[in-house]
Chains A and B, each alone.
Chain A
Amino acid sequence: MTTIEFFLAGTMSAATVFLLAALGELVAEKSGMLNLGVEGMMAVSAAVGFVVTYETGSHIVGFTVAGISGVLVSLIYAGVAITFLANQVATGLAVGILGLGLSALIGRQHESLTVEAAGGIYIPILSDIPLLGPAFFQHNIVVYLTLAIAVAIGYCLKHTRLGLAIRSVGENPNAAQALGYSVHLIRYGAVAFGGLLAGFAGAYASTIYTPLWADGMIAGRGWIAVALVVFGTWKTGRIILGAYLFGMVSLGELIAQSLGASIPSQLLSSMPYIVTIVVLAIISTNAARLKLHAPFALGESFDGSESK
């Protein structure tokens, strides 16, 4: 692979981790649930996905169990923040801390082991195009499924009854309840779906993108996914763009090394975080615009009483 092919292919692969997690968070936030536990959900499922794939030799089994573990962790958040009406920010942090601890516990006997990366697909003709083939058409199937999921979520939120239900409990839960929607049930579903995608994101990170387990390997990518939802102003298309931008940034270290540039590696490792801060500042400057796009009831618990 040439450097350019490697760069384009790596961007797509790295972006998939961000995109899966951010899409899950988007659905949860659209229903009014600000789940800051993404990092913890991803860590648990990365550990689970790795251990299961390592022990069974099957990526499919690994992904499935990782997805389930993501849902289970998200349900801890949902139970406390929805049923028990606890502060969403604090609950998300709690689940994040719990998840990081659990992931270390689950993966402790598999530290620094590796699994074989799942292979890519082969599309006749397309995969053989010079440059474009290796860059775009030889990835693992998950990369393309993620893009398909992104389009499906965008369509579902905008054009279907289910999407309307999710948006209405996120915008105005009182009105949604009056219309006959079960606010808590829909929010549970949205959070669990977010957990599922965070679970897949974790499994992709630990079994396909970098097929090894190391404690702390999620390294803030869950938090960047949360930031991506803000960057995308809760719009699917922009979130895809943002995820690919961050996929590119996170490759900076490898690229600079391959070009022999003499930049401290720590500065390059910091780039995703620096870029997150800068983009966040730029996007957030227009507070009114941000407020317009954010789900109106985001972060508010709903106890069923009108007077809030």
Chain B
Amino acid sequence: MHIKFERRVEYSRKILISVPVITIALSILISSALLLILGKSVPLTMYSFFIAPFESFYSITEIFLKFGPLLLIAQALAIGFRAKVWNIGAEGQMIMGAIAASAVPVYFVDSTSIFLLPAMLVLGAAGGMGWAAIAAFLRTRFNANEILVTLMLTSIALQVLYYLLLGPWKDPQGFNFPQTVLFQDEALFSPLFQATRLNTSVLIPILFTIGAWVFMEKRFGGFKLQVGGLAPNAAIYAGFSAKGAVWRSLLIAGFAAGLAGMSEVAGPIAQLQRSITSGYGYSAIIVAYLGALHPIGIIFAAFFLAVIQIGGDVALVSAGVPISAVHVFQGLLLVFYLATYTFVNYRLRILRPGKSLPVGATS
């Protein structure tokens, strides 16, 4: 017996829609097996992950707090991934955005100007774009692989952050902790509801999503980015610039990741410290794929991953499930998504030896 995938003449829309559902089901199945091995309660963990996050208003606002940066970065990464520009360094671009934005409250500690926040927005976006531009420049000028460059730049960005926190930007009254001063209220987004951490910065990802959707679906630009990735030669023949697609993809991602980093330091964290990214830059890669690289799909995917991140925190306390289980679950999601997605373009055929198929059979 022999199993073989055969390319479909036309892709299957029905399967395309069921892919995320099957992916989530398989990931839950394997995770349950892992939980049993770890000796944790499966029902309690599942309850903590998928139901508990919705049990209080505060917890729901926390979901949206995580939803924001995941949505923002994933929308931008998807634009690049569709053009086969593999920016894996959103994490680093986010860090540089947070650093650049933090320069304002760090150097103007006593300022109460209303321009603090706008200045931080501009610097945050510029910081992320600047960091991404290095990768775009090295890719277009020196042909250096952007996967490796963006990853290495993330490691370097972390070291820049540590340098600042342990040296020039360390809070002099901070008992030697690696963190800056707490930012003044004028440098922070205002909370949406009392006694919650959710703030007005959640509007940025929503606006960006609308922009991404218009960009991809309504305008010619989206088509150009896609062509540049699918076949560089075709793009060049059609008069588009493959180099332009690299620049655009990376700058858009740097812009979004930088703003996400800025939103963290000007939001829930309210200072620059070591753990400002919460791994959003990596999780956003999974969000982008799980959302089928489509602006609408990404909304659902970002929400789902935000829920399981909050759920992971709950499960740690209630069921003693280690936080690394969340990362394993995210990894499983992406693995199963990629395997299942094959059925969109291919059909499975089981061949038995001795029975040859008639010529031209399409079944």
Residues of A within 8 A of B (CB): 36, 40, 76, 79-80, 83-87, 89-91, 93-95, 97-102, 104-105, 108, 215, 219-220, 223, 226-227, 230, 264, 266-267, 269-270, 273-274, 276-277, 280-282, 284-285, 287, 290, 303-305
**Are B152 and A273 interface neighbours, CB within 8 A?**
yes
Task: Find chain A residues with CB under 8 A from B151 CB.
Answer: 220, 223
**Are A280 and B148 in contact (CB-based, < 8 A)?**
yes
- Among B57-65, B157-165, B213-221, the stretch that binds chain A is B157-165
CB distance from B288 to the nearest CB of A (A): 10
Residues in A whose Cβ lies below 8 Å from that of B162: 266
| Pair A100/B148 contact, Cβ less than 8 Å | no
- Give the residue of A98, A264, A277, A285 whose beta carbon is less than 8 angstroms from that of B149: A277
Which residues of chain A have C-beta atoms less than 8 A from B86's C-beta?
89
Chain B residues packing against A (C-beta within 8 Å)? 3-7, 34, 38, 86, 88, 138, 142-145, 147-149, 151-153, 155-156, 159-160, 162-163, 166-167, 282, 285-286, 289, 322, 324-332, 334-335, 337-339, 341-342, 346
Other than the given A223-B148, A267-B159, A305-B7, 14 more pairs (CB < 8 A) read A40-B331, A84-B338, A84-B342, A85-B346, A91-B335, A91-B338, A97-B282, A101-B325, A264-B163, A264-B167, A274-B152, A277-B152, A284-B143, A287-B143
- Asked if A270 and B155 make an inter-chain contact with CB atoms under 8 angstroms apart, the answer reads yes
B339 and A86 form a contact (CB under 8 A)? yes
CA distance A87 to B293 in the complex (A): 14
Closest chain B residue, CB of each to CB of A275? B152
Knowing A270-B156, A303-B346, the reply to whether A101 touches B285 (Cβ < 8 A) is no
Determine how close the nearest CB of chain A comes to the CB of B331; give it in whole angstroms: 3
Q: Is the CB of A93 within 8 A of B327?
A: no
Name, among A40, A91, A273, the residue most crowded by chain B CB atoms within 10 Å (CB to CB).
A273
Contact sample, A vs B, 20 pairs, CB 8 Å cutoff: A80-B335, A85-B342, A86-B338, A93-B88, A94-B335, A95-B331, A97-B327, A97-B334, A101-B324, A101-B325, A101-B327, A101-B331, A266-B166, A267-B163, A270-B155, A277-B144, A285-B142, A303-B6, A303-B346, A305-B6
B338, A94: Cβ atoms under 8 Å?
yes
Q: Is the CB of B335 within 8 A of A95?
A: yes
Contact residues in A for B4 (Cβ distance below 8 Å):
304
CB contacts (< 8 Å) of B322 on chain A: these are 104-105, 108
Residues of A within 8 A of B346 (CB): 85, 303
Residues on B with beta carbons closer than 8 Å to the beta carbon of A219: 155
